[in-house]
Amino acid sequence: MKLLSHLVGYLPVNIASGVASFGGVYVYTRLLGAEEYGIYALMISALALIHTISLTWVEAANYRFTGKAQAEDDLPGHFQTATKLMLRSIMVALLLAGLLWIAVWDMPRYAAIMPWIAVLLPIDTVIKMALEAHRAGQRVGRYAFVETFRLLAGFVLGALLCLWLRWGAAAPFMGLTIAGGLMVLREGPWLFSAAKGGTVKPETQKAWLWYGLPIAAALVLDILLSAGDRFLIAYILGEAAVGAYAAGYGVADKTVLLICAWAAMAGSPLVMAAYERHGPTGAKEDARMLARTLLMVGAPAAAGIALVAPPLAEAMIGEAVREEALQIMPWIAVAGLLNGFLIYYFSEAFQLAHKTLERAFLMLIPVIANLAANIVLLPIYGLMGAVWATVACYALGIVILAIAGRRHFAMPIPLQDIILTSIACAAMWPATLLVPYEWAAWPELFAKAIAGGGTYVIVAMILDAGGARQFVRDKLKASKSTKAT
Q: Quick one: pLDDT at residue 70?
A: 72
Between the alpha carbon of residue 226 and those of residues 45, 269, 342, 383, 429, the distances in Å are 10, 25, 12, 14, 28
Nearby residues of 407 by Cβ (< 8 Å), 6 or more positions away = none
For the chain, which residues make up each domain, given as ranges?
2-413, 414-485
SS3 105: coil
Q: Quick one: pLDDT at residue 484?
A: 54
Neighbours of 396 (CB within 10 A): 17
pLDDT, tens digit (0-9, with 9 covering 90-100), for 455-469: 999 999 999 887 777
pLDDT, tens digit (0-9, with 9 covering 90-100), for 44-54: 999 999 999 99
Q: Quick one: pLDDT at residue 476?
A: 62
Pseudo-torsion of CA 41, 30, 181, 226, nearest 10°? Answer: -20
pTM of the full structure: 0.80
Higher pLDDT, 465 or 244: 244
Please tell me what DSSP assigns to residue 137. Answer: T
- Local confidence band at 159 (pLDDT 50, 70, 90 cut-offs): very high
Q: Quick one: pLDDT at residue 479?
A: 55
Higher pLDDT, 127 or 198: 127
Report the mean per-residue pLDDT for the chain: 87
